[in-house]
Structure 1
């Protein structure tokens, strides 16, 4: 379901404005969630570190904060939504894939203003950049199965 090319077969134009700042927020939030999972640091420490170490002039800082704290606050619900669509236990997932799936699942659950296809595509793109060679296929498969259960009204229109 990845949208790598425009209808005319050309590579898409770089994102601008709100789209670009949200894309940057997702990327940083995924990395922060990975760090939270791996290092066990407090969210406040991680968020402060990310804000110091990264140029937030082109990042939707409010969205970054919401994704980071929302996933952590609703981790039980998010993990519960993901688990039925996995072929292995949650604790056996690659930590990068887990961070991407948690982020995307949170967006599917809480950010209905973001179309489900955008959430899936953003998850795939994150997996292509940060994940192992085939991570994007795994992320796509899980999110594709998950979306109808979280966005039934929207996915019925396919």
Structure 2
């Protein structure tokens, strides 16, 4: 038996990287019955919130919730998880660049430390754990196909004002 999870994620920041910036991340699970369940997380004030940090935190939130859901399943089925994001940065981090950065000692192409390394490593560890249960794929989608996660993220930031 295969248990399918479709998860839409989004992160956002207002005042990107500046003092007083606010940010949030969202993860929306979509079920075959057309129901959905959403989670949001506010970004801490330190380090300063950025759009990129918010996008990776959204992936972390999705992976954490998927692992919790998997642990609650009684039959331990194989997983088929797809995480959809409109962030080319988040998708690139999780599918391409992470292997290069880890081989290069977390130094980027310009010779500087990789930004958001703390979050990317955390996401990678969760990714590894989830893959133990089956397949995991990251899929880039246009912003217009990510309205539910975007809306949840914006609602969370509206509450932070």
Measured against the shorter chain, the TM-score band is 0.3 to 0.5
More helix by share: 1
**TM-score, normalised by the number of residues in structure 2:** 0.32
Question: Which structure carries more relative contact order (alpha carbon 8 Å, separation 6+)?
Answer: 2
More strand by share: 2
**TM-score, normalised by the number of residues in structure 1:** 0.32
